[in-house]
Amino acid sequence: MEIAEPAPHPHSRYVDADGIRTHLLDAGDGPPLLLLHGGEYGAAAELTWAGCLPALAARHRVLAVDLVGFGRSAKIRDFAGGQRRLMVRQVAALLAALDVEPVAVVGTSLSARMVLDMAARPDPPWPLPAIVAAGIGLAAPDAAGRAVLEDFDGTLDGLRPSMEVLFHDPAWRDSEEYLRRRHAFTALPGAWETAAAAAVRSPLRSGDERRGHVRAPRRDYGSIAVPVALVRGEHDRLVPDATWRELAAQIPGARTTTVPGAGHYPQVERPDRFVAAVLGFLGALRVRR
C-alpha cells in the first residue's frame, strides 16, 4: 500500500468571489476537491472537515469553503428567496478566481442537496466530474429533527439540543468543547441574524409556511450523468434509511456507504471511515478512466 506524504497544514485565506468575501481552508496538492458544509446554526468549514482534511489533502488539493452567511465568510442574505442560488454563485466565482475547474465536490446536508440539484440541471454553473453527497435522502429532512435545529435563541444552552440531532457518538454529542466552538461561530457578527432571517416571513407573502420553509418539491435525480457516491451515518436522525435508499435508486450507478456508529455528520464522528469512502470512490474513478 502506498503511503502518502503528510499533508501541509491548511492555509486559512480569503478570496473575493464576485463581491462576496469568502473564507476557505486551502491545503494539499493534486486533483482539486471541494468540501462544502451543512446549513445548521454554527456550521463552518473547519468544524465540519477538520478530521478529514489532513488525509484528503495528502492526495488532493482540498478547498474547504465557508458558504455565504456561514463561518468566516460574508454575512449576506438574499431576501428574494435565492440563498442557495447566492451560494452557487459564490462557489462558481470562487472556483473561477482560483482557476481550479473542474472540481470534484463533497457536500453534506444542505450543500449535498444543493450540489445534487445542480447536477440534475442541463446547465450546471460549474463542471462536476464527481460528487460525494452525505446526509441527505430523497425526502426533506425529518421535520422533528429540523425543528430542533431551527429553534435556537443565540445562547449556548439554546444550541445544546441540536447536538442530540446531529451526533450519535457521546464523545461528540456530549462534547462541551465542540459545542462551544460551534457556538462561537453563531456569535460572529451577523451570523445569527443571517441564519434567522430564513424564518422571517413578510405578511405580504401568501401561504402559511412555518419558519421560512415551503413544501419540498418533488425531485427527480434520474438525469444525473456524473458519478455519485452517497454516504449516510448509520444513526442519522434527520435522514431515515428508507429515503436515503430511495435517493440512491433514482441516481444511475450511485455508490452507497453507510458509516457505522455515526449520526448526521459521519465526517465528524468517524472521519477515517468517511475519508476511506471518499478516496475509494475517487480512486476507482481514476482507475476506470
> Is residue 179 assigned to a domain?
yes
> Is residue 100 assigned to a domain?
yes
The per-residue pLDDT for range 123-169, each reduced to its tens digit, is 888 889 999 999 999 999 999 999 999 999 999 999 999 999 999 99
> Is residue 2 assigned to a domain?
no
> Is residue 4 assigned to a domain?
no
The answer to whether the pTM exceeds 0.85 is yes
Q: What is the mean pLDDT of residues 109-113?
A: 97
The CATH number for 215's domain is 3.40.50.1820
> Is residue 5 assigned to a domain?
no
Number of domains in the chain: 1
Range of the domain at 73: 11-288
Mean pLDDT of the chain: 90
- Residue 217 pLDDT > 70: no
> Is residue 24 assigned to a domain?
yes
Q: What is the mean pLDDT of residues 81-102?
A: 91
> Is residue 3 assigned to a domain?
no
List CB contacts of 199: < 8 A, sequence separation 6 or more: 150, 211, 212
> Is residue 6 assigned to a domain?
no
When comparing pLDDT for 72 and 82, which is higher? 72
Name the helix (H) or strand (E) containing 115. helix 110-119
CA distance 111 to 68: 12
pLDDT above 90 as % of the chain: 79
Burial class (CB in 10 A: 0-12, 13-18, 19+), 79: exposed
